[in-house]
């Protein structure tokens, strides 16, 4: 990849807070866009998601806001609002927003208003429940969507309470869908010269993650149940307690099952009518899993890794984040990137171009650090007043 990043020359205005829009804008910034983060007087709510703090700033906020500038705007002040509108019209290529439902329209910062002033603008709405329907004006957060769209009904152990996936997977995935939409609209603009309104939402993203559960239910009429670390339609394909930890083994086809059976010293299993094919194993998973679990407890995770690797059976021990960050594979990929000032390290974009990962170019900004740069005329007028 040349020194020029894919989105060099593109200016993104982020009207975002929390996770979804900031994550989308961070990706666009990593890809080379100039990102101007517009914040309310008190700042993005994520600035207060602490402890822990990292150099006097929420570590969560820092993980979502590198490669940006921050400018403070009071949207209830007509002059500041007008200045923001001018900035978008004069400099903006893309707007990404996840304001409270109705706020963009209230302040004249909605797609209709801004695209009327700048027809080639790409405007991305990140909503909660979507742009249409009886719930379109309801706010939403990641755990609400995991519950409402059914993810919690299929996450966790079958005999325990449902649980949330342990990261903001709906927020962050919605941010990724926003980026896919924005990149598509930029490509389309090259041909047509016109802008686009992109819509995505947390609920639509959560529904998207339920695609095969929905298909399986419609095909069978049976509600999916929580599978712990496993999968309803592939057996054996789950985690097991070892002598010193936990290991996941994915024997996802008949050949791998035969190899696993040999490792476990039960080469006869693939000929057992209960276990011959994957549908057979799914039907009799209770007895098969009970047998495997008893055997796996006899050795450590490390011992099983050696045996399974020798047999080419896919496996992975459960690691803590400390182990993950220290692992040679993580280091070899160069995923951890130091900030320009060297004070912090963050996981970089999981994407490379010609073997080069986009760099960590700008530290996560202090609140309003670039207001005077972004709005020089407004700042000068404010000082004179």
Catalytic residue positions?
171
Among 165, 175, 163, residue whose Cα is nearest residue 204: 175
**127 DSSP β-pair partners:** 201
DSSP-derived pairing of the beta strands 11-15 and 94-97? parallel
Helix or strand (DSSP H, E) at 80: helix 78-91
Contacts for 347-351: CB closer than 8 Å, 24+ residues apart:
347/63, 348/30, 349/27, 349/30, 349/31
Its sign, for the CA torsion 370, 376, 378, 383, is positive
In whole angstroms, how far apart are CA 257 and each of 227, 249, 263, 287, 288? 19, 10, 10, 15, 11
**369 DSSP β-pair partners:** none
C-alpha to C-alpha distance for 257 and 277, rounded to whole angstroms: 9
C-alpha to C-alpha distance for 16 and 182, rounded to whole angstroms: 15
Q: Number of helices (H) and strands (E) in the chain: give both, helices first.
A: 17, 11
Q: What is the three-state SS of 316-383? A: EECCCHHHHHHCHHHHHHCCEEECCCCCCEEECCCCCECCECCCCCCCCCCCCCCHHHHCHHHHHHHH
DSSP-derived pairing of the beta strands 237-241 and 246-250? antiparallel
**123 DSSP β-pair partners:** 95, 197
CA angle (177 as vertex; 357, 349 as ends), nearest 5: 15
């Amino acid at each position: 990849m040349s020194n020029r990043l894919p989105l060099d020359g593109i200016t993104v205005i982020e009207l975002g807070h929390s996770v979804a829009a900031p994550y989308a804008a961070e990706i666009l910034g990593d890809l080379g866009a100039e990102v101007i983060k517009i914040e309310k007087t008190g700042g993005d709510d994520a600035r207060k998601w602490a402890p822990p703090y990292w150099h006097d700033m929420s570590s969560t906020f820092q993980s979502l806001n590198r490669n940006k500038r921050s400018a403070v705007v009071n949207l209830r002040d007509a002059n500041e609002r007008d200045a923001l509108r001018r900035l978008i019209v004069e400099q903006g290529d893309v707007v990404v927003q996840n304001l409270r439902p109705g706020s963009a329209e209230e302040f004249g910062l909605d797609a209709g208003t801004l695209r009327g002033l700048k027809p080639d603008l790409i405007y991305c709405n990140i909503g909660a429940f979507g742009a249409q329907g009886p719930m379109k004006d309801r706010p939403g957060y990641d755990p609400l969507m995991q519950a409402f769209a059914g993810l919690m009904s299929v996450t966790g152990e079958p005999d325990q309470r449902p649980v949330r996936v342990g990261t903001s997977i709906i927020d962050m995935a919605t941010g990724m869908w926003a980026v896919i939409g924005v990149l598509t609209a930029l490509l389309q603009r090259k041909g047509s010269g016109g802008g686009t309104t992109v819509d995505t939402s947390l609920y639509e993203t959560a529904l998207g993650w339920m695609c095969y559960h929905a298909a399986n239910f419609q095909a069978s009429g049976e509600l999916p149940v929580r599978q712990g670390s496993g999968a309803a339609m592939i057996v054996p394909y789950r985690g097991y307690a070892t002598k010193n930890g936990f290991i996941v083994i994915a024997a996802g086809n008949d050949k791998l099952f035969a190899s696993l059976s040999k490792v476990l010293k039960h080469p006869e299993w693939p000929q057992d009518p209960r276990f011959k094919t994957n549908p057979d194993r799914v039907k009799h998973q209770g007895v098969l899993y009970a047998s495997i679990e008893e055997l796996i407890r006899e050795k450590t995770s490390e011992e099983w890794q050696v045996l399974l690797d020798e047999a080419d059976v896919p496996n992975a021990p459960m690691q803590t984040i400390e182990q993950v960050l220290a692992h040679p594979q993580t280091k070899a990929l160069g995923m951890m990137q130091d900030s320009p000032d060297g004070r912090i390290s963050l996981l970089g974009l999981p994407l490379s171009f010609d073997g080069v990962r986009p760099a960590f170019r700008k530290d996560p900004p202090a609140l309003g650090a670039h207001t005077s740069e972004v709005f020089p005329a407004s700042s000068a007028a404010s000082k004179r007043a």
